[in-house]
Amino acid sequence: MNSQILTYGIDSHKRSVLNRIRSAVDGIDSGVVSFHFGGRPVRAQRSDIVRVISQMKFKSQAELGLRNIVLEAVMTSEYLSPGSGFLSLKLLLEKDQPDIEKFFGRVDKNTSMNSLRKAVGEGLSSKILGTILEKSSIESEIKIATSEMAFNPVIRSSPSLRIPGYLSEMFSTKKNIISDAGVLFFDGIIESVSEIDSLLQSLTKSKKNFVIFARGFTPEFSNTLSKNHSEGRLFVFPIVLPGKESAFEKFSDHSGFFDVENYYMTRTLEDSSFDFCHNVSIHDGEVSITGLDSFQRRISITLPSHLKNVLGIIEDRIKFGIIQSKEMAFFGACEIKGLGIISKKCIETAKKTRSSLEKNLKNTVCLVLQER
């Protein structure tokens, strides 16, 4: 592999690359630019700027190298703050710098959606984000899939609380997701099966999933549950919530919460005392519980199967929108003439990227090209 050092015509190559990129940036806002994904053309939005630039073809190796300099800057910027890569190019390529017309110290849902429509378009991704902001939370854990049974998008949102926790060391199971479970929270250590014998007897008959959260369990108790679980007689899972008092304070209003004040009631409990509406997942020392009152949410989005090939784009746009909404909530936003409403963090990141990229392009006076 040989290397060629190019010093002649660099400025001409720079102008050519930047003109192509300017045309793409303007075309995105005009709705006339598309890119290929999953074997089909997709209309590009501001959130797709990295894909648009990465798919640009150049005959000249020099121009391809210059494009890569721009692409790297945009990718880094988008990683730091979604939307800032696109904005940094606007700032770099426009002769007249856009004016800030209005500041937002607090951003409501309507303001967020006005911003997101500019970034991800008016289509399906925008509608899903609107539903999330209206009926759920920006602190949502999102799962997207397709189904042949879905004729229209289906969005399900359920409260989901995530806290530190782990299965008792003396309990053995291959499960890390427990579905349709009843839950009991005990602010203390469970020492003996006799403390909840009535409940365990009723669960043996019903075969329902059940999760007990406590500060600890004796080896005898955990071993008994583990043995019955392995033999298929009982599906009760002991989970330890270690550490601070606040872990159990979160559940003090739950009907399944017990401490020293109502501890005696645990001896008369049966499965009919509980709602089996919770999903509990355990992963890397963290427990997630759905069906509890919490500002955190778990969102399940099911799309028709014909959208399978563009699922990655939809997922990226939704994640883009969630992060941008968080930024506006935390840092505030500005309305910029011709660009719409953008988070303050996005603007600050874009300005730094624009300055850095401008210097890099100015200081590029030669290119080392590799040839086979």
pLDDT over 80 (residue 193): yes
Per-residue confidence at 256, pLDDT binned at 50, 70, 90?
A: confident
What backbone phi and psi angles, to 5 degrees, belong to 2? -100, 155
Of 3, 104, 88, 16, residue with least CA distance to 344: 104
**Percent of the chain whose predicted confidence (pLDDT) is above 90:** 34
pLDDT of 280 > 70? The answer is yes
Q: Does residue 308 surpass a pLDDT of 90?
A: no
CA 362 to chain centre: 37
pLDDT (tens digit, 9 = 90+) per residue, 104-158? Answer: 878 888 888 888 888 888 888 888 888 877 766 666 677 788 888 878 777 776 6
In the structure encoding, which two tokens stand for residue 71, read together?
A: 């692409």
pLDDT surpassing 90 at residue 288 = no
Can you list the domains of the chain with their CATH numbers?
2-103+343-371 (no CATH), 166-284 (3.50.7.10)
Mean pLDDT value of segment 194-215: 92
DSSP 292-335: S--S-EEEEEEEEGGGGGGHHHHHHHHHHHHHHHHHHHHH-EEE
Q: Whole-structure pTM over 0.85, yes or no?
A: no
278-295: buried (b, 16+ CB within 10 Å) or exposed (e) per residue? bbbbbeeeebbbbbbebe
The CA distance from 291 to 295, in Å, is: 11
Q: How confident is the model at residue 219 (pLDDT cuts 50, 70, 90)?
A: very high
Range picked from 63-67, 160-164, 261-265, 349-353 for highest mean pLDDT: 349-353
Task: Return the sign of the alpha-carbon dihedral for residues 288, 292, 294, 299.
Answer: positive
